[in-house]
């Protein structure tokens, strides 16, 4: 029997994760992080669910009630300052530089598995493991903790977790890793934790991103690759690479955002055939399944040397070969073009079901 701290949001996954651990005989404590400051400007829908939203107090109250049903203690930890210094600062800097950040990646490494766990220990909580409701697995292989894809590949969340280090992985549990989402929903419904038609938001923020960027509208041009002006925009940060809808310009065929130019405040658009990338590089690399390597990477789970990679959370890993450049960056060359790799997102390399390494995309062609 272990002392286990479970990160809880009030949703189905974290609730069932806590219940499963309690059923296994562990001493379980639920913890919820408070990251929203009441005086923060907000111009969105207050009733729309999101990770970062003014509805936080309602979610905390709901989580407290769920913990009471499970029969475990619940605590709340205010880490709003750390969240602003880390996640929101990175979010703002990346967007204003014409990149498309993934705040969930930074939140997992620095906040959920970082500041929240550290804060709980500093507050006097003693626990052996920290657990969450992520769909992923951890195995101990070749002297290192390996982050593995979850059994339910359609819900696998290893992409969001690739920046966890060996120390974090060594004291982490993912109770849902060997379950499917359908199985977890069934357990949740049978126990009456949530309505059977419960929906769960995957949104980061429930308002306009301009709230977080603290910027005024900045009118600029929407142009094609030749520099011809096709329309106007009110802020480059309102667009992401690969975006098709909401461009406000017309053409004989659908147009996509293919580049963002912060120096000229331009949004560059092109046809679908210009959205493919066969080579993607990334820096700020975190090595998971092995220590840092050099040269061409080869997997431990196959002899072909062909690995796979994801350039965004949606979809499945695509076959590729991977080389480590002299400056430590990783470069993935894809057999078939991947669509709209965006700087600021993550390139995550898989060796079979194991996460080998990953980094922040800094170029694509």
Confidence of residue 200 (pLDDT cuts 50, 70, 90): confident
CATH architecture assignment, domain 216-274:
Roll (2.30)
Q: What are 334-352's pLDDT values in tens digits? A: 989 999 999 999 999 999 9
Closest Cα to residue 82, out of 60, 109, 121? 109
User: What are the domain boundaries of the chain?
Assistant: 3-133+175-191, 216-274, 276-364
Number of H helices, E strands in the chain: 9, 18
pLDDT at position 43: 86
pLDDT at position 304: 54
pLDDT at position 303: 47
* Percent of the chain's residues with pLDDT above 90: 82
* Percent of the chain's residues with pLDDT above 70: 98
Q: What angle do CA 61, 67, 73 make, to 5 degrees?
A: 105
CATH topology of domain 276-364: Elongation Factor Tu (Ef-tu); domain 3 (2.40.30)
Q: What are 264-293's pLDDT values in tens digits? A: 999 999 999 999 999 999 999 999 988 898
3-state DSSP assignment of residue 49:
coil
CATH topology of domain 3-133+175-191: Rossmann fold (3.40.50)
Q: What are 28-43's pLDDT values in tens digits? A: 999 999 999 999 988 8
Whole-Å CA distances, 212 to 84, 122, 170, 252: 10, 29, 34, 35
- Mean pLDDT for 70-78 is 97
Instruction: Report how far residue 86's alpha carbon sits from residue 107's, in angstroms, rounded to the nearest whole number.
Output: 8
């Amino acid at each position: 029997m272990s002392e286990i701290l479970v990160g809880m949001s009030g949703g189905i996954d974290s609730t069932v994760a806590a219940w499963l651990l309690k059923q296994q005989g562990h001493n379980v404590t639920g913890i919820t992080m408070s990251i929203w400051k009441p005086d923060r400007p907000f111009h969105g829908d207050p009733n729309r669910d999101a990770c970062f939203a003014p509805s936080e107090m309602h979610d905390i109250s709901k989580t407290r009630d769920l913990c009471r049903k499970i029969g475990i203690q619940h605590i709340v930890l205010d880490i709003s300052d750390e969240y602003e210094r880390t996640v929101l600062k990175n979010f703002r800097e990346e967007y204003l530089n014409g990149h498309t950040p993934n705040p969930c990646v930074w939140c997992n490494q620095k906040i959920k598995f970082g500041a929240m766990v550290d804060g709980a220990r500093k507050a006097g909580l003693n626990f052996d493991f920290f657990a969450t409701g992520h769909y992923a697995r951890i195995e101990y292989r070749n002297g290192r903790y390996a982050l593995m894809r979850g059994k339910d590949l359609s819900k696998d969340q290893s992409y969001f977790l690739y920046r966890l280090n060996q120390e974090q992985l060594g004291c982490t549990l993912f109770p849902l890793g060997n379950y499917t989402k359908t199985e977890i929903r069934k357990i949740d419904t049978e126990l009456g934790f949530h309505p059977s038609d419960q929906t769960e938001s995957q949104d980061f923020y429930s308002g306009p991103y301009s709230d977080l960027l603290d910027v005024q509208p900045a009118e600029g041009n929407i142009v094609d690759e030749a520099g011809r002006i096709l329309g106007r925009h009110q802020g480059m940060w309102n667009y992401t690479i690969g975006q098709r809808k909401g461009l406000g310009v017309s053409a004989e065929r659908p147009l996509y955002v293919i580049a963002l130019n912060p120096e000229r405040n331009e949004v560059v658009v092109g046809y679908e055939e210009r959205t493919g990338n066969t080579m993607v590089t990334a820096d700020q690399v975190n090595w998971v399944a092995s220590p840092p390597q050099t040269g061409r990477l080869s997997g431990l789970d196959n002899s072909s040397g062909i690995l796979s990679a994801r350039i965004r959370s949606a979809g499945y890993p695509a076959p590729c070969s991977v080389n480590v450049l002299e400056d430590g960056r990783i470069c993935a060359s894809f057999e078939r073009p991947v669509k709209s790799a965006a700087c600021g997102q993550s390139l995550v390399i898989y060796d079979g079901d194991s996460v080998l390494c990953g980094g922040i995309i800094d170029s694509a062609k």
